[in-house]
Amino acid sequence: MLTTAQAAKVLGVRTDTVHAMKAEGRLTVRGKGPNKANLFARADVERLLVQRTEAKRGVPEQARLDEAEPECAGCRELRARLLVAESRARAADDRAERAVAAMNAAVGSAGHGHFSLG
């Protein structure tokens, strides 16, 4: 079981976004922790992460529906871990690009050159 903060970390979003996903019905509270904190099933969170990753990659909805789910539990686990790693890598790339843009804005205002990720 994952807390709201842990689910947010896995998904690469803020806790407010997890609350919104819960309100929209995309995540279901599976239990309550200390102080009545919401708890989410790790499998639900990882399933949502896979859906978000596929949507970001531009995989058409029909292709996602037609894609055969691996029969082996180990293969399903490996696929989920791969998609989680891919999502985390994409989030790290996005953070790096935002950092470079912020540095360029700061340096540009001082009249110096520009940074790049390449």
The chain-wide mean pLDDT, for the chain, equals 76
pLDDT given for residue 93 in this prediction: 74
Domain range for 47 is 2-109
Distance CA 53, CA 71 (A): 21
Q: Is residue 118 part of a domain?
A: no
Identify which has the larger pLDDT, 110 or 40: 40
**pTM > 0.75: yes or no:** no
Burial of residue 15 (number of CB atoms within 10 Å: 0-12, 13-18, 19+): middle
Q: Is residue 36 part of a domain?
A: yes
**111 SS3 class:** coil
Q: What is the CATH number of the domain that holds 57?
A: 1.10.1660.10
Q: How many domains does the chain have?
A: 1
